[in-house]
Amino acid sequence: MPLDRSLYRLRYRVECFFPDLKRFRAAATRYDKTVTSDLAVLHVASMLLWLR
């Protein structure tokens, strides 16, 4: 079975995203009580990681 390099690259990017996301305490410990505020923390953390 041949290796799909584009799929592997995307999978690697997702696997590396979660340890980086855990650096943000609010996202890692889920202090937020509502889905909207939890999603907002994930968006802000994702933007900061993307800008890095």
Residues 41, 24: contact at Cβ < 8 Å?
Answer: yes
Query: Are the C-beta atoms of residues 24 and 39 closer than 8 Å to each other?
Result: no
Is the pTM higher than 0.85? The answer reads no
Q: Per-residue pLDDT averaged across 15-44, rounded? A: 81
Q: What is residue 25's predicted lDDT score, i.e. its pLDDT?
A: 79
pLDDT number for residue 32: 66
d(CA 32, CA 36): 9
Is residue 29 over pLDDT 70?
yes
- One-letter-per-residue 3-state SS of the chain: CCCCHHHHHHHHHHHHHHHHHCCCHHHHHCCCCCHHHHHHHHHHHHHHHHHC
